[in-house]
Amino acid sequence: MLPAGPARVSHPFGATRYYRHGWHSWSLAHWADLSGPPHVAAILQPGAQGDAAANLAGNVHGGSWVGAVEGPEGNALVLGALGIDARVTGDERELRGRSAGDPSPWFVGYGNAEDTLEAYARELGRRLGSVARDPGRVWCSWYSHYTGVTEAIVDETLAGIDGLAFDVVQIDDGWQVEIGDWQVNDDFPSGMAAVAGRIAAAGYRPGLWLAPFVAHERSQMYAEHPGWFLPGAAGENWGGPYYGFDMTHPEARDHVATLIRTAVDWGYTYLKLDFLFAAALGGEQPYRSGIELIREVAGDEVYLLACGSPIVPSIGVFNGMRVGPDVAPWWEDDANTRLVRDYSYPSTRSAVSTSHARLWLRSAIAVDPDVAYFRTRYNLLAPGYRRLLQDLCLVAGFRATSDPPGWLLPEERAELAAFLTAPGEVERLDRYRFRVDGRVVDFGPASLDHPAPG
Ligand code: 9PG
C-alpha cells in the first residue's frame, strides 16, 4: 500500500510494455509498447464516448485507476487506485498515480502480471464490498434484432429456446418510446409487465435493458427538464446527441428511482443498465451515489449488470459488468480502428481483445465479455473467430447469446446447447492461453497488445 495522495513508483524496466486501462466498458484495455506512441483517438467524440478524455488525448501512456509496467518472465509492477476517481500514467522510469479527491490509499504489487492484477481486484472487492454473482445463461435480444425487437419476437424466442439451458431472457434497446421516455412503445402491445409475466411463466428470469442516466435530445424528458442534466452532450447515438443526468439533482434522482422501481414492479429481476458513464462525466462521486440509489430501490435480489459503465466505481453495487466493447457479426472494423483509432466501436476483435485484457476483474465483479454467436446466418465471422468468442465467454464464466433460435441450423443449435451446459473448467496456462474443458485456447492472435505476441 502507498498512502493517499499523488503516488510515484520508480521501475527499472526501461522501455517495456505498459498496461493501459480505459475508463469504461467500451474503452480500450491492452499492453502497449512504451517506446511507441500511446493510443490516441484521431477524432474526439463529444464527451469522449469511447473513453475518458484524458485517456484519449496528449502524448502520455495512461489510463483510469490502474496501470502497470512489464518486468521479465511475465511479471509486472502494478499501481492501482483503491478509490474511485484516479488516473495512472507511466513511462520508461516510473508509474504515477493521481486521484481527483478520493482519500483512499494505493495498491502496489510486483509478481506475475495476471496474479498481481487479480490481487488488486480482490483488494478493490474488499474495500468496495464486492457483490459479484453468476448471472446464469442469458439470451439477449440485441445482437440479432437490434431495436427491431417486438413482443412477437420475444414470444417466438420463448417457444424456440425450449429445451436449451437458458436462465435469463433479456429484452434490449427497442421496447421504449424514446431514450429517456421509458414508456412501452407499440411493438409491445400487451405492455412490459405482461411480457415479463410470460418470460417468468416459461421458466426464465425476465431481463430488461435501460439507460437510466441518459435522455436523448428528442425525448420529452430532455425537453421538459433540461435543468436535470449535466451541461453538454454526453455523446451521440440513436441519430443525435444524448445527455447525462446530474445525479446531485434531487428531482433527477427521484426520476431515476421511479424508473428502476417501475421496471422491478413490472417483474424484471435482471436489469442491464447501459450508457452509465454519462452520469460520471459529472464526477465519480455523483455516479457512485446514483448507482447506490439504484441498488437501494432494486433490492439485493435483482441482478444488476453494468454496461458503458466506469469500471472501478461500479464494483460493490453491480453484480456483473460489460468489460469490453460490443461484439458484431464481423471480426474487424478497419474504418473505426485503423482510421479513427477508436477501439470502442462494435467489432468482435476489439471486444475479445479488451475483455481478455480485463479478465482479472473477475475477483471483484462478474465479467461480461458480451454475447457469443452460433448462427452463420447474417454472420461474416469465420468459424475460428466464432469459436474464439465462445471460448472467451466460457473463460469469463458469463454465457450469453442473441441468436434467434429460428435462425440456427440443427448443428448450430447443438453447439449452442453444448456451450450452455459445458462444465466450463478453466485453467490459465499463460496470459493468452487457457485450457478450457480440456482444449487449449489461445487469445494471443486476437489481442491488440503490442507487439503482437507469438
Ligand atoms: C443498445 C446497445 C446494446 C449494447 C450496448 C450498447 O456509439 N457507441 O460507441 C456505442 C457503443 C455501444 C453501444 C451503442 C453505441 O451498445 O453495449 O449491448 O445494449 O447499447 O443500444
Mean pLDDT for the stretch of residues 137-153: 98
- Quote the ligand 1 centre to 294 CA distance (angstroms): 21
> In the numeric block, which cell numbers belong to residue 86?
484516479
pLDDT at residue 59, rounded to an integer: 85
Q: Does the beta carbon of 368 sit less than 6 angstroms from any atom of ligand 1?
A: no
Instruction: Decide: 344 in ligand 1 pocket, CB within 6 A.
Output: yes
> Which pLDDT score, from 0 to 100, does residue 44 have?
64
51 within ligand 1 shell (Cβ under 6 A): no
Burial class (CB in 10 A: 0-12, 13-18, 19+), 156: middle
The secondary structure element, H or E, covering residue 30 is strand 29-33
Asked if pLDDT for residue 247 goes beyond 80, the answer is yes
Q: Is 129 exposed, middle or buried (0-12, 13-18, 19+ CB in 10 A)?
A: exposed
Cell numbers found for residue 183:
414508456
Percentage of the chain modeled with pLDDT above 90? 90
Tell me the mean pLDDT in the region 44-55: 73
Given 167, 172, 173, 274, the catalytic residue: 274
Q: Is residue 46's pLDDT more than 60? A: no
Q: Does residue 254 carry a catalytic annotation?
A: no
CB of residue 242 inside a 6 A radius of ligand 1 = no
Cβ count within 10 A of residue 435: 14
Residue 202 is predicted with a pLDDT of 98
Helix pair angle (348-356, 383-396), 10° resolution: 30
Q: Work out the mean pLDDT of the chain and round it to a whole number.
A: 95
Which residues on adjacent β-strands are paired with residue 272? 209, 305
Whole-model pTM above 0.85? yes
For residues 72-82, average pLDDT: 97
Three-state secondary structure string covering 244-278? EECCCCHHHHHHHHHHHHHHHHHCCCEEEECCCHH
Q: pLDDT tens across 353-381, in order?
A: 999 999 999 999 999 999 999 999 999 99
What's the whole-number mean pLDDT along residues 63-74? 97
Cα 234 from Cα 45, distance rounded (Å): 9
User: Does the pLDDT at position 388 exceed 60?
Assistant: yes
Q: Which of 26, 170, 277, 345 to mutate to test the pocket of ligand 1 (most atoms within 8 A of CB)?
A: 26
Closest by CA position to 393, among listed 143, 81, 69? 143
Residue 454 has pLDDT above 60, yes or no: no
Q: Which of 294, 353, 361, 301 is nearest to 327 (CA)?
A: 353
Our answer on whether the CB atom of 326 is closer than 6 Å to any ligand 1 atom is yes
Burial class, 181, CB count within 10 angstroms (exposed 0-12 / middle 13-18 / buried 19+): middle
The answer to whether 429 touches 74, Cβ cutoff 8 Å, is no
Reading the block at residue 444, the C-alpha cell is 494471443
Ligand 1: which of 27, 146, 274, 350 to mutate, most ligand atoms within 8 Å of CB?
274
Count of C-beta atoms within a 10 Å radius of residue 8: 12
Residues 364-395: b if buried by 16+ CB within 10 A, e if exposed: bbbbbbbbbbbbbeebebeeebbbbbbbbbbb
The whole-angstrom separation of Cα 382 and Cα 378 is: 12
326 is annotated as an active-site residue: yes
Give the pLDDT band (50/70/90) at residue 47.
low
Average pLDDT over residues 92-107: 95
Q: What is the pLDDT of residues 172-203, one digit of tens each?
A: 999 999 999 999 999 999 999 999 999 999 99
